[in-house]
């Protein structure tokens, strides 16, 4: 009986942890997507820095439960975004901005309660 | 490399704890669900060791999930015999009262040569000597010989013998095992007295065991 209860509690804790983690990641990625959409089409270092700080604040937790490849891709693209912004490369900046949006949306879809990626 | 090293150690200890919590049967004779869990555990454990891009939680969560589901399922099966049969199958009578059930043999996809081989492995050279052969859920064959083929027992021969039971190891490699002393009904003082009669001490002994009839077996440590 004790082991059954321990198993049940473990299962309940796991389900809770998975759900809490999913809600957290969805919330954070939604925030990142909104921030990216609010980034002006004309580059602004202040805005890109603000976005970078927002990402850094969420990164540690997201990296615990998400494939490292996604996290690295965001880091890399963010660096590109800042680089293009500093160098005044508008096309590069817009391309990096769009890529970040795609990655964030993909991350949200991967971590959401959806059966689309089961098979 | 440090990541791989630490992950290997962590996953190793987590697996030991998980397998220990699942019980002895996981290590010994496996039921179907237990076999599946063991196979899956090894894969879940191995992948994050060399795939360092995968978060550690990708190993921990599946391992804990399998552990909890296996424990819950085992408990439910205990109280639902029909579910046990559904998941684990039931034993099959291959030989019943000395007669081979060929239909059951075919149902189990077992050929006669395999059956003969299994009987041989159990020390039975002639299938005619078998009263019952049961194919258990874990795939092992349990065999019961015909009474007239078995060596006569002490009871049949009217011989009164002491039941030797099991052998309790009281000293293993110079160390006195207190738990076994208790099981054998001996005290440490009694043990040392017996050794003193032989002019020995526990430090001279590799193995000292006693059975339920009081017969002792002593192996002394060889001088290096």
**Tens digit of each residue's pLDDT (9 = 90 or more) over A26-41:** 998 999 999 888 888 8
pLDDT interval class at B27 (50, 70, 90): very low
pLDDT interval class at B165 (50, 70, 90): confident
Partner-chain residue, chosen from A14, A65, A66, that has the shortest CB–CB distance to B64:
A14
- Give the mean model confidence (pLDDT) for residues B9-28: 63
User: Do the bridges between strand B205-210 and strand B168-172 make them parallel or antiparallel, or are there none, so unpaired?
Assistant: antiparallel
A37 vs A41: CA distance, rounded Å: 9
pLDDT of B130: 93
Among B13-27, B62-76, B92-106, B153-167, name the most confident range.
Answer: B92-106
Q: In what order do the strands lie in the sheet with B205-210?
A: B175-176, B168-172, B205-210, B216-220
Could you give the ipTM of this predicted complex? 0.72
- Give yes or no for a contact between B135 and B86, defined as CB atoms under 8 angstroms apart: no
Closest chain A residue by Cα to residue B59: A65
Name residue, tokens 């002393």.
Answer: B181
- Give yes or no for a contact between B81 and B123, defined as CB atoms under 8 angstroms apart: no
Q: Does B69 touch chain A (CB under 8 A)?
A: yes
pLDDT interval class at B1 (50, 70, 90): low
Q: Options 3.40.50.720, 2.40.160.10, 3.30.240.20, 3.10.20.30; which CATH number does B92-149 get?
A: 3.30.240.20
pLDDT of B34: 72
- For chain A, the domain total comes to 1
pLDDT interval class at B47 (50, 70, 90): confident
Q: Answer positive or negative: Cα dihedral of B67, B69, B71, B74.
A: negative
pLDDT of B2: 54
Name residue, tokens 């689309």.
Answer: A116
Domain that holds residue A82: 13-111
**How far away is chain A from the Cα of B39, in angstroms, using its nearest Cα?**
20
Q: Options 3.40.50.1370, 3.40.30.10, 3.40.50.11900, 3.30.240.20; which CATH number does B168-220 get?
A: 3.30.240.20
| Residues of chain B positioned with their CB less than 8 A from the CB of A16 | none
Instruction: State if pTM tops 0.80.
Output: no
pLDDT of B101: 93
Q: In what order do the strands lie in the sheet with B130-135?
A: B99-100, B92-96, B130-135, B141-145
Enter the tokens of residue A50: 């603000």
Partner-chain residue, chosen from B53, B55, B71, that has the shortest CB–CB distance to A7:
B71
- Spatial neighbors of B167 by CB under 8 A, at least 6 apart, are B209, B210, B211, B217
pLDDT of B204: 92
What are B90-103's pLDDT values in tens digits? Answer: 788 999 999 999 99
Which part of chain B has CATH 3.30.240.20? 92-149, 168-220
* Cross-strand bridge partners of residue B176: B171
- Count CB-CB contacts under 10 A for residue B94: 23
What is the rounded average pLDDT for all residues in chain B?
Answer: 82
- Element (DSSP H or E) covering residue B200: none
| Residues of chain A positioned with their CB less than 8 A from the CB of B19 | none
Q: Does B57 touch chain A (CB under 8 A)?
A: yes
pLDDT of B4: 58
pLDDT interval class at B19 (50, 70, 90): low
Least confident of A75-79, A91-95, B48-52, B195-199: B48-52
């Amino acid at each position: 009986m004790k082991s059954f209860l321990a198993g049940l509690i473990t299962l309940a804790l796991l389900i809770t942890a998975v759900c809490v983690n999913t809600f957290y990641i969805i919330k954070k990625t939604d925030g990142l997507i909104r921030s990216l959409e609010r980034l002006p089409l004309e580059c602004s270092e202040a805005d890109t820095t603000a976005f970078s700080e927002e990402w850094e604040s969420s990164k540690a937790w997201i990296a615990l439960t998400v494939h490292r490849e996604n996290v690295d891709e965001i880091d890399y693209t963010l660096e590109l975004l800042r680089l293009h912004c500093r160098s005044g490369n508008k096309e590069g900046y817009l391309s990096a901005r769009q890529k970040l949006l795609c990655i964030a949306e993909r991350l949200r879809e991967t971590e959401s309660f959806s059966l689309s990626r089961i098979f | 490399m440090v990541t791989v090293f630490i992950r290997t150690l962590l996953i190793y200890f987590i697996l030991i704890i998980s397998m220990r919590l699942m019980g002895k049967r996981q290590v010994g004779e496996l039921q179907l669900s237990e076999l599946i869990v063991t196979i899956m555990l090894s894969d879940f454990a191995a992948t994050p060791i060399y795939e360092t891009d995968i978060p550690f939680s990708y190993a921990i969560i599946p391992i804990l999930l399998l552990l909890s589901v296996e424990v819950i399922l085992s408990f439910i099966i205990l109280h639902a015999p029909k579910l046990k049969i559904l998941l684990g199958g039931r034993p099959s009578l291959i030989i019943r009262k000395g007669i081979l059930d060929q239909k059951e043999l075919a149902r189990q996809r077992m050929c006669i040569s395999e059956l003969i081989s299994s009987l041989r492995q159990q020390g039975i050279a002639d299938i005619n000597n078998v009263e019952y052969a049961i194919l258990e859920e874990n795939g092992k064959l349990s065999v019961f010989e015909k009474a007239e083929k078995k060596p006569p027992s002490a009871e049949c021969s009217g011989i009164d013998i002491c039941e030797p039971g099991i052998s309790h190891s009281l000293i293993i490699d110079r160390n006195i095992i207190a738990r076994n002393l208790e099981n054998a009904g001996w005290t440490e003082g009694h043990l040392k007295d017996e050794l003193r009669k032989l002019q020995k001490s526990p430090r001279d002994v590799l193995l000292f065991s006693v059975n339920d009839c009081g017969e002792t077996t002593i192996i002394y440590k060889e001088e290096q």
